[in-house]
């Protein structure tokens, strides 16, 4: 019988899991190592983008479009993304795997 690799991303209905991070996308609830983490709706949406595509790099503009539904050249600036990433990193602490991709954007480090 095969056992699941705990570090591989898993998607079950509305639950995204990668290592010690778990996100219920329907309810907007997150857990790190079984402990609840309070996320804002935008932080939850950012985490969902990363957990759904680990290893994929997203530009700041792409994240603005996916999370804020802002068109290219819209009123939001990429610093909005940077600040939300900063807060998400702080809340996830040691379990976060968000990497900065120099002069591009961010990705969830995989593996």
Mean pLDDT per 10-residue run, the chain (111 residues)?
A: 48 82 91 93 95 95 90 71 95 92 93 70
Residue 26 placed within a domain: yes
Q: Which domain holds residue 91?
A: 10-108
User: CB–CB of 94/106 below 8 Å?
Assistant: no
Residue 110: predicted pLDDT:
75
Residue 5 placed within a domain: no
Residue 2 placed within a domain: no
Residue 28: predicted pLDDT:
85
* Number of structural domains in the chain: 1
Q: Which residue shows structure tokens 């932080």?
A: 43
User: CB–CB of 37/45 below 8 Å?
Assistant: no
Residue 4 placed within a domain: no
Q: What is the CB neighbour count within 10 angstroms for residue 33? A: 12
Residue 3: predicted pLDDT:
43
Residue 95 gets which letter from DSSP? G
Please give the Cα distance from 38 to 40 (Å, whole number).
7
Task: Residue 98: name the closest of 61, 63, 106, 90 by CA.
Answer: 106
Residue 47 placed within a domain: yes
Residue 24 placed within a domain: yes
pTM of the entire predicted model: 0.84
Please give the structure tokens belonging to residue 6.
Answer: 């705990």
CATH of the domain at 65: 1.10.10.10
């Amino acid at each position: 019988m095969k056992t699941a690799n705990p570090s591989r991303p898993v998607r079950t209905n509305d639950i995204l899991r990668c290592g010690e991070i778990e996100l219920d996308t329907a309810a907007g609830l997150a857990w790190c190592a079984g402990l609840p983490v309070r996320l804002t709706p935008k932080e939850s949406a950012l985490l969902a983008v990363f957990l759904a595509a680990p290893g994929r790099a997203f530009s700041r503009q792409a994240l603005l479009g996916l999370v804020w539904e802002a068109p290219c050249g819209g009123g939001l600036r990429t610093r909005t993304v940077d600040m939300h990433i900063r807060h998400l990193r702080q809340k996830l602490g040691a379990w976060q795997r968000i990497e900065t991709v120099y002069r591009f954007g961010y990705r969830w480090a995989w593996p």
